[in-house]
Amino acid sequence: MEKDWVKVYASNIAYESEIIRGMLEENGIEAVIVPRQDSSFVTMLPGMDEVYVHVSNEAQAKQLIAESRPEPGKTE
pLDDT at residue 42 is higher than 70: no
Record the pTM. 0.79
Terminal Cα distance for the chain, rounded: 38
pLDDT at residue 45 is higher than 80: no
What is the model's pLDDT at position 73? Answer: 56
Under 8 Å between Cβ of 5 and 54: yes
Which has more pLDDT, 69 or 48? 48
